[in-house]
Chain A
Amino acid sequence: MMFLAILFSISVCFLLILIRLIAGKTTYDRILAANSIGTIVVLAISIHGFYMGRPEFIDISIVYALINFIGTVAVLKLFDKGKLGDK
Chain B
Amino acid sequence: MITEIIINAFLVSFMLVIALFIVNTRKVIFTILLAGTYSLVAALMFVSLDAVDVAFTEASVGAGISTILFLAALSFLPKEEVQESFNKNDIFALSICLLIGGLLIWASYDLPMVGNENNPVHQHLVSDFIEGSKNHIGIPNVVTAILASYRGYDTFGETIVIYTAGLAVFILLYNRTSKETNKSVKNEISKK
**Chain A residues near B (Cβ < 8 Å):** 4, 7, 11, 14, 18, 21-22, 27, 30-31, 34, 37-38, 41, 44-45, 48-49, 57, 60, 63-64, 67-68, 70-71, 74-75, 78, 82-86
Contact = CB atoms under 8 A, between A and B. Distances in A.
Contacts of B44: 41, 44-45, 48
Contact of B75 (A31, A60, A82, A86): A82
Given A57-B52, A78-B75, A85-B72, A7 B7 contact: yes
5 contacts: A37-B41, A45-B44, A48-B44, A57-B47, A85-B75
A41 B3 contact: no
B21 A64 contact: no
Most-contacted residue by chain A among B17, B47, B52 (CB, 10 A): B47
A78 B72 CA distance: 8
Contacts of B67: 71, 74-75
Most-contacted residue by chain B among A14, A22, A49, A86 (CB, 10 A): A22
A19 to B, nearest CB: 10
Given A4-B3, A74-B68, 14 more contacts: A11-B10, A22-B17, A30-B30, A34-B34, A37-B40, A63-B56, A64-B43, A68-B63, A70-B64, A71-B63, A74-B71, A75-B71, A78-B74, A83-B72
B109 to A, nearest CB: 35
Nearest to B64: A67
B14 interface: yes
A71 B72 contact: no
Interface of B: 3, 7, 10, 14, 17-18, 21, 29-30, 32-34, 36-37, 40-41, 43-44, 47-48, 52, 55-56, 59-60, 63-64, 67-68, 71-72, 74-75, 178
Contacts of B37: 21, 34, 37-38
Most-contacted residue by chain B among A21, A31, A67, A83 (CB, 10 A): A67
Contacts of A30: 30, 33
A68 B40 CA distance: 9
A60 B55 contact: yes
B40 A84 contact: no
Contacts of A11: 10
B47 A84 contact: no
Nearest to B33: A34
